[in-house]
Structure 1
Amino acid sequence: MADDYYQLLGVPRSADATEIQRAYRKLAREYHPDVNKKAGAEEKFKQISEAYHVLSDPESRAQYDRFGPEFRQYAAAEREYASQAAGGRGGRGGGRTRTRPGPSGFSWSSAQGAAGPGGASVDWGDLFGDVFGSMRGMDNQVELELTVEEAFRGGPRTIVLSGPDGDRQTFDIQIPPGVLDGQRLRIAGGGSAGRQDGGAGDLIVTFRVRPDRRLRLDGKNIEMDLPVSPWEAALGASVSTRVPGGPVTVRVPPGSSSGRRLRLKGQGMPQPGGKPGDLFAKVKVMVPPHLTDRERELFEQLRRESAYDPRSSS
């Protein structure tokens, strides 16, 4: 995609991993198609997810910073270069330059100091390694989408990948309880086969935790709406509700308006070996859509008796 990844996330090129993750979470909550139904929101969500996917990985970020939007083409050229070398077309040396067509019509050269994107000098030997000896296989990457509750519980999951020649690989993985958005699981040997005795690459699984209408993730904290009646909000109440960890009772203080956040300590995402997150229940006052005659009478009486004006304090 043509857009600059840093601009899409709204971060400077010097941003660290924490800043990039924070920017992505904010934008993901805003543009996720389950939350934002406006035209273009889904496409925007895909763009920022792609930007985060690249910039959150140190290796792909380094390639992007060096080569720009065409960095994947250079990775493809690396594979082509290795393939040509494996076919016995000689080695580097003598400063002799050979040129092969690369992806999208650009060319790469086997001579050191060949021009790269923007005229920058690129040492293809340093970039591609010693392709005439053993070479480790490339890593394969896949994203696994989870609900908040699935991420909370963790557990077994099967991943099926289809190769370019139609073969299928099956991986049985164990999702750690409390996995967070953007965290990764590396499966040794799950990538592409290596050259000679270079060994296979790895399979890298990136977890994506999607919000839904009820639950949202903020780091290791969980946010949820807590519907209450007008009288529960005004008088206070103990409200039973379900959270990912099971049923709980939330104490709603008297005089709670919509938007008030109630903290349930330790009810957020579990963190094996660490402190769990918290759960924040946001009060949402709900009015009966249909009133009985008696309910209408009581609300009319309250309107006559009460001097409260919610707009006077706004």
Structure 2
Amino acid sequence: MRFGALFFLLALAIALDPYKVLDISKDADEKTIKSAYRRLSKQYHPDKNSDPEAHDRFIEIGQAYEILSDAEKKSNYDRFGDADPHQGGGGANFDFGDLFNQFFQHGHNNHHGQRQRRGPDTQVRLSMPLRDFYVGRDFGFDVEMNNVCQSCSGSGSADGERHRCSRCGGSGVILTRRQMGPMIQQFQTPCDQCGGKGTTIAKPCKTCRGQGTERKQRHYNVYFSPGTARNSVKVLEGEGDQSPDWVPGNMNLVITEETAGNWGFHRVGNHLYRTEVISAKEALEGGWQREIRLFDEETVVLKRGKGEVVMDGHVDVIKEHGMPHDDDYGHMYVEYRVVPIGKSNVKVEL
């Protein structure tokens, strides 16, 4: 497991009985031991088992097989309850990934044959006016993200080389064991020399200072189709922060609507709403006509013949002149507000 910059203490107070771990009897022969290891390794390999506890079980199985497959360690364990009764703790040089590869001749690019973890998703908020939601928009934007360093290709090393940690033997962890009667208490902590990575760098890259990543701007062009829902999320797969320690997550674009410059319209679902202010004279006498320009430059005519009265709060429904969706349109709702006599000079902000 690659811990990166995450340091935590994983204390496992366990009775490491290799026979119980491999589910075999103490008189099992070499063939039985090997068969049990092969079966359980396949069952709990992190590439095939997504259970969060599978990784620890996988390591446990390897440790048990390391003891029982070595005649001297097996004899020590059978006699003293510890594979190495002279060892008081320290670095564990057992590379479980190498052992698994020897068995199955299956190479893995990731540390210890473990499936490389997925990085976090990144959320980016974009905003555009209602007009762009109506007609669609090719949206160009820049965002600062972590990118794999181009100078060292993510290795963090100026010469491109990472060396197997001499303290943990490449495992990324240090195991400390304590004998407590018939019980073995085992503590596992990230290696303090390599930071849990299993490798060290002799010459850090000057560009990224050994981190393997650098913060840089990325440019994107994303098309939002006509009728895109407000606050909807567009997912750019694999465009999250990059790191040599993980597979990039996604970039989630949240598109919000700007409050200004919407030409007096507001949107509710697939429909458009607006308020049209008329004078008391127009409301009572009629005989007027107005044109409303829509976002696609089409116009809608509002009118009343002579003598047609409009009540305050009346709503006209203009079908199929709302927001586009699929191959159809919502409706437009126009509510009339009548300015009382004597207040006709009042300006109404739309």
What TM-score do the two structures reach when normalised by structure 2? Answer: 0.44
Structure of higher CA gyration radius:
2
If asked which structure has higher relative contact order (CA below 8 Å, sep 6+), I would say 2
Greater share of helix residues, 1 or 2? 1
Greater share of strand residues, 1 or 2? 2
What TM-score do the two structures reach when normalised by structure 1? Answer: 0.48
